[in-house]
Chain A
Amino acid sequence: MSASVRGPHGRRPWKLTPARLGLYGFLIICALFFLTPLYVMIVTSLKDMPEIREAHILGLPTAPSLAAWSKAWFAACTGLTCNGIRVGFVNSLRIMIPSVIVSIIVGAITGYALSFWRPRGAVLLFGVLIAVAFIPYQVFIYPLVRIFSYLGINNSIAGIVTIHTIFGLPTMTLIFRNHFAALPEELFKAARVDGAGFWRIFGVIMLPMALPIIVVAVILQVTGIWNDFIFGLVFAGRENLPMTVQLNNIVNSTQGEREYNVEMAATLLTAIVPLVVYFVSGRWFVRGIAAGAVKG
């Protein structure tokens, strides 16, 4: 309508062509495909069990209640104990925070050393690092368990942090190396003429320039480590099982009635950290995916 008012000098009239209809149809189907499970989870978590048994899976809750959320957080049974999933939440934080920090620091230093200082065999080292990233990591688990128990760090926070640092190393090194390799080498030379050494060039000049890539690294590592299941199960030890493992224990426990509302709430609670990261850092996250494209 506005097009006809403005006359031929206005915006080109919007035409609803079949191609356009198809495009929108496809987009709507895609959105429904991904949103429906989320919708089901949220409404189910707000229902009580009698209402769930009526099997109107898409229906809105008649009397929405956070009781299931409360139970999932405080009182759901994971195996023998019934302290809720909050135990796992705390464990996941205790694993994630040091793992993210250590793996990023190690990856940044490795990437920096490989791109600027070029030690003998740097190309080979980098090649091996990337090649190893393609080996399924389940292969490493048994030998690593043996090594860690020999070192005495199996079943501990130190052990799981070491694991996440090791397995984060290829991706972290790759994104930092690529970032540093794109910086002009003359910057590095200028700093050397100014007398700065390995650590000062890294800390004072290179790291401040790596801020965007650090954000990307944090996003990749936070989501990756939070979502990890098998490393946490194998290496963290019974006292430190992360949230994902606890969630599995709740959802897959076979005794008694299955409390779908509690399970949905527990699942949503577990997914909150990565979800927050996705939503808060959308722009950065896309970049992170591109940067870590070699291994997702």
Chain B
Amino acid sequence: MDVQGNVSLRGVAVGYGPIRVFDRLDLEIAQSEFLVLLGPSGCGKSTLLNAIAGLTEIDDGEIWIGDRNVTWHEPKDRGIAMVFQSYALYPRMNVRANLSFGLKVARTPRAEIERRVRTAAEMLQIADLLDRRPAELSGGQRQRVAIGRALVRDAGVFLFDEPLSNLDAQLRSELRVEIKRLHQRLGATMIYVTHDQIEALTLADRIAVMKDRTFQQIGAPQEIYLRPANRFVATFVGSPAMNFVPGRIELGTGGPVFRSASLRLELPTYPFVQAPVDAAPVELGIRPEHVIVAPDAADAHEVSVELSEPMGSDLLAWTRLGDLPLSIRLPAETRLTPGDRLRILLPERRLNLFNVANGARM
């Protein structure tokens, strides 16, 4: 089997009868890239993954894997392997049979099956589970087996459909690291669907944020996080969520200024994507960890602490700026009591301005 792994979606459209799931999506995924499709449920990310796998027929466009147009190929002929949220292990077969089923279907020689199963089992530390039935495994072990079943296929492209969503938090982070390690080791292309922004940020080389069946932004995790293309991406990625302050832009002689009821910020160097219009209503966004506490700064703004949430590694302060809520991430050892007043700075290079009319980044 060839192990080429660059995937190309060209104008892909999927619909069920008159209902359009999505229209004309284009996406290029490079060899060995780890791409995460991130979005809320119902955004079309799983449908897109199923279309790449060949489990959902597309109405229009082409899907290329490697240098082959696989639009009408059966799933097994696409050079892909897939891992599902519900593990989807064959319940009446033991682990060994689960791993080797696909190879048997493909009439792989017995010795080769044996070799690949052993390699995969060792890589995933499930070698001692080979004779068990799926019912006798824990959730984490089951998902390892499911990943193993994908591994033995020697595919160029791995598709993950929310593989960790059924696991508890501890196992999830364990397996997350494992998947990342696997990606580094195999160098295969991976396309990973999730609604968990932490998974997306930790795993991805590139994230494609989806909403309402379209891509909202495609970019590296840092870019998605620091320069979200619109208000939706800004709110969906990041926990706790970004702070928003509604206001307007004023174009004075001294450069653009953001002004709200309780805030006035000069923006001499803000990299506008759209040319600002005078008096245009905007929303200012800033992440909790980007707010700087500066007791002595002359131009600082004053906020009052409402409550604080110690998170272990750090502390989240819920404050009021005027009458607007503003969360601030602070070092864990900070001592705060409700009613305390903090003087803060909102550094210009960490600011995000969004057009109120359409939510787009300005």
Contact = CB atoms under 8 A, between A and B. Distances in A.
A193 B92 contact: no
A209 interface: yes
Nearest to B150: A193
Interface string A205-235: 1001100000000000000000000000000
A186 B106 contact: no
B85 A186 contact: yes
Interface stretch (B7-15, B76-84, B198-206): B76-84
B84 A195 contact: no
A190 B82 contact: yes
A193 B86 contact: no
Interface residues of A, number: 16
A75 interface: no
A190 B76 contact: no
A187 B102 contact: no
Contact of B102 (A184, A186, A195, A208): A195
A189 interface: yes
Interface in B80-97: 80-82, 84-86, 88-92
A295 interface: no
A193 B75 contact: yes
B165 to A, nearest CB: 12
Contacts of B101: 191, 194, 196, 204
Contacts of B55: 189, 192-193
B159 to A, nearest CB: 8
A188 B57 CA distance: 16
Interface in B107-158: 149, 153
Contacts of A196: 101-102, 105
Interface residues of B, number: 25
Contacts of A200: 105
B81 A193 contact: yes
Q: Which among B86, B88, B161 has the highest number of chain A CB atoms within 10 Å? A: B88
Interface SS, A side: helix
Contacts of A187: 86, 88, 90
A200 B104 CA distance: 11
B344 interface: no
Contact of B82 (A184, A193, A204, A205): A193
A56 to B, nearest CB: 58
B53 interface: yes
B342 to A, nearest CB: 50
Given A193-B53, A193-B82, A184 B75 contact: no
A190 B150 CA distance: 10
Contacts of B86: 184, 186-187
Nearest to A190: B88
A184 B88 contact: yes
B82 A189 contact: yes
Contacts of A186: 84-86, 88, 161
B85 A193 contact: no
Contacts of A195: 74-76, 102, 105-106
Contacts of A189: 50, 53, 55, 75, 82, 84, 88
B298 to A, nearest CB: 60
Contacts of B50: 189
A187 to B, nearest CB: 5
A194 B105 contact: yes
Given A196-B101, A196-B105, A200-B105, A191 B90 contact: yes
Contacts of A190: 82, 84, 88-90, 149
Interface in B23-60: 50, 53-55
B243 to A, nearest CB: 39
Contacts of A191: 90, 101
Contacts of A194: 76, 101-102, 105, 149, 153
Given A186-B84, A186-B85, A192 B76 contact: yes
Interface of A: 184, 186-187, 189-196, 200, 204-205, 208-209
What are the 5 tightest A-B residue pairs by CB atom distance, in nearest-first order?
A195-B76, A194-B102, A186-B88, A190-B88, A208-B92
7 contacts: A184-B86, A187-B90, A194-B76, A194-B149, A195-B74, A196-B102, A204-B90
